């Protein structure tokens, strides 16, 4: 079983690229953002708590996200692996992921990191807010907080995966096809 971590700042194109990656490599796409948004849309207790945090640009507690991912690992059949999008975002989550996959005698295969400059993050998120009607993307102070959170809490994962020999950085600028080609080259 393959376990890929799809990594990058908000607006890097992770969601845009994930579908092609899933199709080409027969992976189950686990987007923590989509899992949480479905809980919010369903109005569950978890969804209401998550909505309050997300609306202010904060992260949902690790244990909640880890439990959702573990359930997805257990309940998914007929794939060659998983593509984790939005998890891990912190060193503690990366260590938790390692523990989860080690229970199955496996290891994280690679961290595919799509990187773009902060100026492009803001442009892409503003566009996404309009196109996808994402209220969480429409407030500049929330976007700025997300970028700061990414730099402070998520960027340390680069060194974590580099030290493990599993980090593959992709230039996320250019057309969707150019970025996709770079991703496939790294995964092949």
pTM over 0.85: no
> 113 φ, ψ to 5°?
-110, 110
CA atoms of 172 and 96, how far apart (whole Å): 27
Q: Which of 51, 74, 139, 146 is catalytic?
A: 146
For residue 166, indicate whether it is catalytic: no
Query: In the Cβ-directed half-sphere of 142, how many Cα atoms lie within 13 Å?
Result: 17
- pLDDT tens series, the chain, 188 aa: 999 999 988 889 988 899 999 999 999 999 887 888 877 888 888 788 888 887 887 777 888 788 878 888 988 999 999 999 988 988 899 999 999 999 989 999 999 999 999 888 888 888 787 787 777 767 788 888 888 888 888 888 999 999 999 999 999 999 999 999 999 999 99
CA atoms of 101 and 96, how far apart (whole Å): 9
Class of the CATH-defined domain 2-182: alpha beta
Would you call 187 exposed, middle or buried from its count of C-beta atoms within 10 A (0-12, 13-18, 19+)?
A: middle
Q: Which of 2, 77, 124, 128 is catalytic?
A: 128
Q: Which of 51, 72, 74, 134 is catalytic?
A: 134
pLDDT, tens digit (0-9, with 9 covering 90-100), for 44-81? 887 888 888 878 877 778 887 888 788 889 889 999 99
Question: Do the beta carbons of residue 168 and residue 4 sit within 8 Å?
Answer: no
> According to the 3-state scheme, what is the secondary structure of 143-175?
HHHHHHHHHHHHCHHHHHHHHCCCEEEEECCCC
How far, CA to CA in Å, does 148 sit from each of 33, 49, 121, 135, 168? 18, 22, 12, 19, 23
For residue 146, indicate whether it is catalytic: yes
CA atoms of 103 and 50, how far apart (whole Å): 28
CA atoms of 1 and 58, how far apart (whole Å): 32
For residue 37, indicate whether it is catalytic: no
The ranges assigned to domains in the chain are 2-182
Would you call 32 exposed, middle or buried from its count of C-beta atoms within 10 A (0-12, 13-18, 19+)?
A: buried
């Amino acid at each position: 079983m393959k376990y890929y971590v799809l990594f990058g700042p908000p607006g890097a194109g992770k969601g845009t690229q994930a579908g092609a990656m899933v199709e080409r490599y027969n992976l189950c796409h686990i987007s923590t953002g989509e899992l949480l948004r479905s809980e919010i849309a369903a109005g569950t207790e978890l969804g209401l708590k998550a909505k309050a945090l997300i609306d202010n640009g904060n992260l949902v507690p690790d244990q909640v996200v880890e439990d959702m991912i573990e359930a997805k690992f257990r309940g998914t059949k007929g794939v060659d692996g998983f593509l984790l999008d939005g998890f891990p975002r912190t060193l503690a989550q990366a260590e938790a992921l390692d523990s989860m996959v080690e229970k199955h005698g496996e290891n994280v295969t690679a961290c595919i990191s799509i990187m773009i400059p902060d100026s492009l993050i803001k442009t892409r998120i503003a566009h996404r807010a309009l196109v996808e009607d994402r209220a969480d993307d429409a407030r500049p102070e929330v976007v700025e907080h997300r970028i700061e959170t990414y730099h402070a809490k998520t960027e340390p994962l680069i060194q974590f995966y580099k030290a493990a020999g599993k980090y593959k950085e992709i230039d996320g600028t250019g057309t969707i096809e150019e970025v996709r080609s770079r991703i496939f080259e790294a995964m092949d």
